[in-house]
Amino acid sequence: MIEIIETGPFNTIQDFGRPGYRDIGVTASGAMDPLAVKVGNILVGNDDDAAAIEVQTFPFKLLFVTGGVFAVTGADGCPTLDGRELLAWCVHRAEPGQILQWRLRRKCRPAAHQRRQD
């Protein structure tokens, strides 16, 4: 279980929407980045059509009330777990009481995988 501690506007829980009903006035809706949701679900072992938290604006901070696995996918938003920067597009484990947070890109360090020039 998680608890949302801080959030900006437009951050939502999204699934893949309701395509195929436009003829009766229902917009498709759904995640803005369906590939990121699909990959995230695969990484953590969820059903293909499971919903996800879609973070569009900052700040965003959540508390893991219970531990578990999670994936960070989509655009780079400098995710950190208890202040430690996380790699995107992979699985992470959180323990109870840990804080997951996104902040603006300009505050991040350069990518961890850059080759050092001597």
Q: How many CB atoms lie within 10 A of CB 78?
A: 17
With contact defined as beta carbons under 8 Å apart, do 31 and 14 qualify?
yes
Residue 40 belongs to some domain of the structure? yes
* Domain that includes residue 82, residue range: 2-17+25-107
Residue 116 belongs to some domain of the structure? no
**How many structural domains are present in the chain?**
1
Question: How would you write the pLDDT of the chain (118 residues) with one tens digit per residue?
Answer: 999 999 988 999 999 988 888 889 888 889 999 999 999 999 999 998 999 999 988 889 999 999 999 999 988 778 999 999 999 999 999 999 999 998 876 555 544 434 444 4
Residue 78 belongs to some domain of the structure? yes
Closest CA to 30 of 5, 57, 12, 4: 12
d(C-alpha 40, C-alpha 95), whole Å: 19
d(C-alpha 101, C-alpha 78), whole Å: 8
Residue 31 belongs to some domain of the structure? yes
